[in-house]
């Protein structure tokens, strides 16, 4: 599993987000390969209506943590990514 710190620009207006507004995200991708995980991260954000996607930081989560039930129970985002393959969390800048 990889965790990405990402900035992206809204290409569609949403609830409290105007077109062109830059947003920060934390994206969890449950995938073995870094290149593939980065591409999936970008794809999921594009499907959500964002463009100009810039991955700022990348972090590999060791498989020992992903397989530890105590860690997964404590991290809801990780649990969601394991269940569905990804999880996106948006932050206001």
Residue of 48, 33, 37 whose CA lies nearest to 88 = 48
pLDDT of res. 14: 83
pLDDT of res. 93: 57
Q: State how far the alpha carbon of 22 is from the alpha carbons of 12, 17, 37, 41, in Å.
A: 12, 9, 22, 16
pLDDT digits 0-9 by tens, 7-62: 999 998 888 889 999 999 999 999 999 999 999 999 999 999 999 999 999 999 99
H or E element that contains 15: none
Band of pLDDT at residue 76, cut at 50, 70 and 90: very high
Calpha distance 17→76 (Å, rounded): 25
pLDDT digits 0-9 by tens, 66-75: 999 999 999 9
Give me the residue label for tokens 């948006």. Answer: 90
> Residue 23's Cα: distance from chain center in Å?
12
Specify whether the backbone of 49 is left (phi greater than 0), alpha (psi in -120 to 50) or beta: left
pLDDT of res. 13: 86
């Amino acid at each position: 599993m990889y965790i990405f710190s990402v900035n992206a620009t809204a290409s569609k207006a949403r609830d409290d987000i105007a077109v062109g507004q830059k947003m920060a995200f934390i994206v969890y991708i449950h995938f073995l390969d870094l290149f593939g995980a980065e591409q999936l991260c970008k794809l999921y954000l594009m499907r959500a209506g964002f463009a100009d996607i810039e991955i700022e930081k990348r972090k590999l989560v060791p498989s020992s943590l992903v397989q530890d039930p105590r860690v997964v129970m404590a991290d809801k985002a990780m649990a969601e990514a394991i269940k569905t393959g990804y999880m996106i969390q948006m932050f206001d800048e």
